[in-house]
Amino acid sequence: MLIEHAGKSPRIHESAWVAPNATVAGDVEIGPDARVLFGAVISADGGPVRVGSGCVIMENAVLRGTSKYSLIVGDRVLVGPHAYLSGCTVGDEAFLATGTAVFNGAQVGRRAEVRVNGVVHLKTVLPDEAVVPIGWVAVGDPASILPPGRHDEIWAIQEPLDFPQEVFGVDRSPEMMTEIMTRYARGLSRHSADRIVQP
């Protein structure tokens, strides 16, 4: 389903294919020979999304552009099932396996691999050809790649990146979720004016 959002409609190259139950909304461009499989969601929520040539976006993956960070996927990239990409840049020929998450402002280098359930955290820079092992976390610039059991080390790098301020513009506090959810719901309400351009 193709949806006009904020006055902009997706642009799909004639050689690309989007599954009938995938959703593509707003300022999204999908390049030549790309494939967007069943249940995937690609949404320009405030910022554009660009998917390069020869990419495969697999089942139930979610790709989102944000008001602060566009989402740019290079050429010949595999985005695995249930992956989540938000406002990040992914280099050519990268491999993002099932369940990976790449967060706002992150950069995944050319031919890098993020294996099953790996995470590339906020504003992290993962170099070309780097590997994030199954379930591990890449965090920081340059990236430290750590197993999830080393939470204290991950948090020492992650905390100053200030996820609530960077993503939602809210200071970390016991009351932050009230403000975050108020802002988030208000921002997402812009979808109420969306228009289906191709079912």
- Report the amino acid identity of residue 182: T
Q: What is the pLDDT of residue 184?
A: 87
163, HSE (Cβ side, Cα atoms, 13 Å): 14
Residue percentage of the chain with pLDDT more than 90:
89
Indicate the pTM of the whole model.
0.95
Q: What is the pLDDT of residue 121?
A: 97
Q: What is the pLDDT of residue 198?
A: 80
40-44: long-range contacts, CB 8 A cutoff, minimum separation 24: 42/10, 43/5, 44/5, 44/6, 44/8, 44/71
Q: What is the pLDDT of residue 199?
A: 65
CATH topology of domain 2-198: UDP N-Acetylglucosamine Acyltransferase; domain 1 (2.160.10)
> pLDDT band at residue 123, thresholds of 50, 70 and 90?
very high
Say which residue, 193 or 40, is predicted with more confidence: 40
Does residue 102 contact residue 85 with C-beta atoms inside 8 Å? yes
Cα Rg of the chain, angstroms: 17
What torsion do the CA atoms of 182, 5, 33, 98 make, to the nearest 10 degrees? 20
Domain residue limits, the chain: 2-198
